[in-house]
Amino acid sequence: MKIHTSTIEVSSKAPRELVDITEQARQAVLESGIKNGTCSLYAHGATAALMVQENDDPNISLDVLDSLAELIPPGKWRHDRVDNNGDAHIQAGLVGPSEVIPIRDGKLALSRWQDVFLCDFDGPRQRRRVLVTIIGN
């Protein structure tokens, strides 16, 4: 059993954005040399999350963000008195900080319509980090 670790770093350009990190995750799997196992991804930051989602229609990302904003609107949370991002913390907590994707034959076992997205709910940010842990043989 082998373990490979790396870090994906991306920036966001909008206050709320889904950033596709699939290619970086694929590259980490390739660099690991692991043919079968799992790729665990973990978003650093209390206002960031990870999501496996549709990759073909860019409106899906916008729909996800709009849905979360409707469920958890800005400007009404106790935490807003601290740094005005209570909604970002709650949204990130609901989506969750991690994803685990199987690796088969040296590739992420995503379906044709799936990609991996870093969800930045408190951007824009110069640097968001995703920790990658690949385990297998």
pLDDT in tens, the chain (137 residues): 999 999 999 999 999 999 999 999 999 999 999 999 999 999 999 999 999 999 899 999 999 999 999 999 999 999 989 999 999 999 999 999 999 999 999 999 999 999 999 999 999 999 999 999 999 99
- List of domains in the chain: 2-136 (2.60.120.460)
Contacts of 41 (CB under 8 A, 6+ apart): 8, 21, 25, 50, 98, 99, 100, 101, 116, 130, 131, 132
Report the distance separating Cα 33 and Cα 50, nearest Å.
Answer: 24
Q: What is the pTM of this model?
A: 0.95
∠ CA 92-96-101 to the nearest 5 degrees? 140
DSSP conformation letters of 30-85: HHHT--SEEEEEEE-STTEEEEEEE-S-THHHHHHHHHHHHHS-TT--TTHHHHS-
Identity at 13, one-letter amino acid code: K
